Structure 1
Amino acid sequence: MISTGLFFAFGDLIAQTLFPHKIIEVETAENGDKIEKEAYTGYVPSRTFRALIYGSIFFAPISVMWHGKTLPKIKNPFIHLKQRTNMEQFSKSKKRLHFYDTVFRLGIDQLLFPAFIWIPLYNTVMVLLAQHDDPFAVVKNKLENNWWNVLKANWTVWPGFQLFNLYFIPVHLRIVCANIWATGWNAFLSFVHNTKGHGKGSGRRFEEMVDIEDEDQEITMIYD
């Protein structure tokens, strides 16, 4: 719980460092003209603390129960019992059996948990910890904007690593390895969760609406 929470906090720290929130401050000159200046909101410790709480109290226990206790016990149902017994008697066929089981576990892990557990849970917990006035409306909005984009990103980052992790790494070390691999992913999650309209860019230019949890401070940023 401690290590997972620290990795989530570190990911948020990276996100805030690389992608700081930018706002437009409007000042009035002596001649009455409006002058716009860019300013950064700076580091937000409470945001990192929320990531720490999520990783420690919510993600870690569920991950242990799923990746450490449940997933290793799941076997490929397409291999019947007699065939499995025969394959377990020889080293080469036993390795092949382990690969078949690993691929099946990977399929369940990647098709079910990110879409229906991790992404909704992350957004729900982080919004509730932020104490929004209407948290469930905010959660609904964030999932409508980002659920599919985050899920697609998940499928580009995790399946290859998880195949290696489930096949080669002992069960008691898998969560540790996943936490190390997830450092960049945690930063990505933090960035997307705190960025309104992420992924709505136009190709050559990436447009996003930065959400600073204050509608008066929301601006559109355009990157070449």
Structure 2
Amino acid sequence: MTTLSTVWRWYLRSLQKYPTRTMATTTGTIMTSGDLISQLIIEKKQYEPVRSLRYLGFGLIFLGPIMRGWYLLLERLYAGTRLASLKMVVTDQLCFAPFVGFSFLTGMGLLKGDSVDDIKKTLNEIYFDILIANYQVWPAAQLINFYFVPLQHRVLVVNFVALGWNTYLAWKSEKSKSSS
């Protein structure tokens, strides 16, 4: 048995036994990886481990569990209906995407110790840029995810796309701070 198949089996067992914990851990790990790529490859700066810990915490404690609940809700609302995948994408992009963008910028600001005024400034400067970029990436990714991927694997599949997305978010939010 290869190492990859061993890891996959372990992941599937963990997902079945501890779905929220497994999805939260996966999300936190992917968010941290995106920040690491941003820092070392895109920004080409000295690594700031505390910054990566913020991404880990946000994914582990907030985004991973929220995503699991969101996907369960979408499934309950639309599974078995006509055009279910399309309805899920529209609902996801109109409701969840704006919420997550706002939560990310606010949450990361709070974790950094930014003042309310600094957080408002960041939201005013880059929230809509992030939302527009979101609409260029996520509708297609989510349509594929909702149409082809079983519910229990959707957070994992989305996290593969999210590696690139989180790299962008880390770069964009830090670029905003350095240009202020």
**Shorter-chain TM-score category?**
0.7 to 0.9
The within-5 A match list for 1:114-193 is: 114-115=97-98, 117-132=99-114, 134=115, 136-193=116-173
The runs of 4+ residues in structure 1 deviating greater than 3 Å are: none
How many angstroms does 1:18 deviate by?
2.4
Q: Does residue 2 of structure 1 match 2:5?
A: no
Report which structure shows greater RCO (CA 8 Å, sep ≥6): 2
Quick check: which has more Rg, 1 or 2? Answer: 1
Q: Which amino acid aligns with 2:85?
A: T
Matched with 2:49 is 45
Question: How many matched pairs?
Answer: 157
Matched with 1:70 is 73
TM-score (norm 1): 0.66
Between Structure 1 and Structure 2, the one with more helix by share is: 2
How many angstroms does 1:20 deviate by?
2.5
Maintained 8 Å contact 2:28/2:58: yes
Matched with 2:14 is none
Between Structure 1 and Structure 2, the one with more strand by share is: 1
Maintained 8 Å contact 1:124/1:139: yes
How many angstroms does 1:166 deviate by?
0.3
Maintained 8 Å contact 1:20/1:43: no
- In structure 2, runs of 5+ residues without a counterpart are 1-23
Matched with 1:54 is 58
Task: Quote the RMSD (CA, aligned, Å).
Answer: 1.8
Q: Distance in 2 between matches of 1:74 and 1:127?
A: 33
How many angstroms does 1:45 deviate by?
0.9
- In structure 1, runs of 5+ residues without a counterpart are 22-39, 77-93, 197-208, 212-217, 219-224
